[in-house]
Amino acid sequence: MKVVLKARGDLIDNAVLETAAGTLGPDEVVVAIEAAVINPVDSMLASGNYGYQIETPFDLGTEGIGRVTQVGSAADASLQGRRVVIKPNYEQGTWADEVVVKAANVVPITDEGDPLQLAMLGTNPLTAHLALTKFVDLKPGDWVGLNLGNSAVGQYVTALAKHAGYKTLSVVRRPEAAEGLQSDVVLVDGDDLSDRIRAALGTDRFELVVDGAGDATVGALAQWATFGGTVVSYSSVTGLTPAVGLGDHIYRQLQLRGLWIPNWLEQAPVSEIQQTYDALAQLTVDRVLQTRVEAVYPVAEYAKAVEHSQQPGRNGKVLLRP
């Protein structure tokens, strides 16, 4: 059983359940899915409102893990029986009982750990890791500012930063979203946000700002970045261009950088991809990386799962399990 998008548009209106997993090719493997994630990107891909345009029919689901149950004649035989992350490169779906995947699109990981937490490795922890490591040479004690602090990426940024000895200031949109966050400073967005950031930092400045909102909060954070500092944008939940002030960009030479996981998966050496997922998986097993899970649905109830994932005020991720 798998979820297939038949035409672009609203995901629920245009998706159906099908039974065929597909024919195994020589360079492919069959993966029995353990858990898959409902990601906002899934609905954006379905609607055509995303930087990557799909062709239909399209197997839905961008994130998930499972175990290899069959290996094609030209694929690496050592993958048989391994737990693997399926790369979120939009070449295959994960909302399924089992999927046929190119062997090059799976990354073996540890057999230990909670499959629900490990299923989320594909995108959000990787985004947080790359934001913290690929743009700025951070040192213990450095400050990182971020918006969407209660989002999955925000929580992973905070956890990885804390593990590395960095300090974080997170901005959230509403007071209840601040509950339970582990940042050194958590601020609720508001008219005087910039002044409150300055008061919290004192004489310190951000070496890095991580933006997922694209709204005025990134501009407020950027005002207190160090000269020549870096703003990394990985998404825009508002659909707006990151609102970094012109004066900050020109006179203080702030750098605005973009981060999109499929680019890294295409360009990074296989060994680096393997080492990165190994490290993130181990941090998940060690409970350094954890995010809230609000609900789990069977694959056949994908429509309910998508609806749940879109509810305002949701306080955790929604997943599918066979």
CATH of the domain at 204: 3.40.50.720
Q: Amino acid identity of 154? A: G
Q: How many residues does the chain have?
A: 322
CATH of the domain at 6: 3.90.180.10
Same domain, 266 and 251: no
Last residue of a domain, one of 213, 236, 258: 258
Same domain, 78 and 150: no
Last residue of a domain, one of 258, 290, 306: 258
The answer to whether the CB of 281 falls within 8 A of the CB of 113 is: yes
Same domain, 30 and 77: yes
Evaluate whether residue 171 is within a structural domain. Answer: yes
Q: 124, 29, 137, 132: which is closest to 74 by C-alpha? A: 29
Q: What is the value of pTM for the model shown?
A: 0.94
State the Cα torsion 99-103-104-107 to the nearest 10°. Answer: 80
Domain that includes residue 56, residue range: 2-123+262-321
Q: Amino acid identity of 303? A: A
Same domain, 8 and 92: yes
Q: 3-state DSSP call for residue 228? A: strand
Same domain, 186 and 109: no
Per-residue pLDDT of the chain in tens (322 residues, 90 and over written 9) = 999 999 999 999 999 999 866 789 999 999 999 999 999 999 999 999 888 999 999 999 999 999 999 999 999 999 999 999 999 999 999 999 999 999 999 999 999 999 999 999 999 999 999 999 999 999 999 999 999 999 999 999 999 999 999 999 999 999 998 988 999 999 999 999 999 999 999 999 999 999 999 899 999 999 999 999 999 999 988 888 888 988 888 999 999 999 999 999 999 999 999 999 999 999 999 999 998 899 999 999 999 999 999 988 787 899 999 8
What is the tally of structural domains in the chain? 2
Same domain, 254 and 141: yes
Evaluate whether residue 130 is within a structural domain. Answer: no
Evaluate whether residue 272 is within a structural domain. Answer: yes
Evaluate whether residue 128 is within a structural domain. Answer: no
